[in-house]
Amino acid sequence: MLGGDVVAAWDVALSDGVYRIQFSHGTITGRRIVYVNGQEVIRRDRMFKLVGRETFTVGGANTRASLLIEAVGGLAYEYSLQLEGRSLQRFTADRDQTCRTWRVRVDGEDCRVVLEKDTMDVWCNGQKMDTTGEFVDDGTETRFMFGEHECCIKATSSGKNKGGIVHHLLLDGASTQ
């Protein structure tokens, strides 16, 4: 159950899902509570120092997170979130370079498929998939099963000097783009 003093909230997209982080800060009581997806992960009562840092982990890979509390004058506070030592904005920008995410509808349900480009790990709805990879004439194919569906992530050259590699998700042989 979330406390009544929630002063900040962030949504963090990781390979195994999107996590909602909320922070409750009682500036009169000194209470600090951090919630991840509605579950309390840190509780500090009667903190005399109202500024500082709370550190915790998020997700199945235990991504290191820090919530920073800074005074901005009088009884006003500013709250920021860092992940793996970087601001949320920088972390998100870096993940956009190393991950590719698709949102697809499978059997009437919304699904989230994530490819970690650096490790070639594939996640479907928070579950790491068993994959097989192979080189083909025009690139690589990473294959896996999602329920009864055959899936393939095809990696090919963009054909442009600065375009890099383009990834396409195929579900039962059909493109999801």
* Average pLDDT for 34-54: 89
- Which pLDDT score is estimated for 112? 95
Mean pLDDT of 154-161: 84
Q: What is the pLDDT of residue 2?
A: 61
d(CA 47, CA 157): 55
Which DSSP state fits 107? T
pLDDT value at residue 176: 81
Domains in the chain, ordered, with CATH?
A: 6-84 (2.40.128.180), 98-175 (2.40.128.180)
Model pLDDT, residue 127: 94
Report pLDDT digits (tens) over 53-110: 999 999 999 999 999 999 898 778 999 999 999 999 999 999 999 999 999 999 999 9
Confidence grade of residue 35 (pLDDT, cut at 50, 70, 90): very high
Between residues 173 and 18, the one the model is more confident about: 18
Of residues 11 and 160, which shows the higher confidence score?
11
Residue-level pLDDT at 5: 78
**155 — pLDDT class (breaks 50, 70, 90):** very high
Q: Percentage of the chain with pLDDT > 90?
A: 70
Q: What local confidence, expressed as pLDDT, does residue 3 receive? A: 58
The whole-chain average pLDDT of the chain stands at 91
Strands (E), the chain: 6-14, 17-25, 32-36, 39-44, 52-58, 63-73, 76-83, 86-87, 99-106, 109-116, 121-124, 127-128, 132-136, 139-146, 149-157, 165-171, 174-175
Q: What pLDDT sits at residue 4?
A: 64
| pLDDT score for 1 | 53
The whole-angstrom separation of Cα 94 and Cα 75 is 34
pTM of the model: 0.85
Q: Whose CA is closest to 139, among 122, 120, 123, 158? A: 158
Percent of the chain with pLDDT over 70: 96
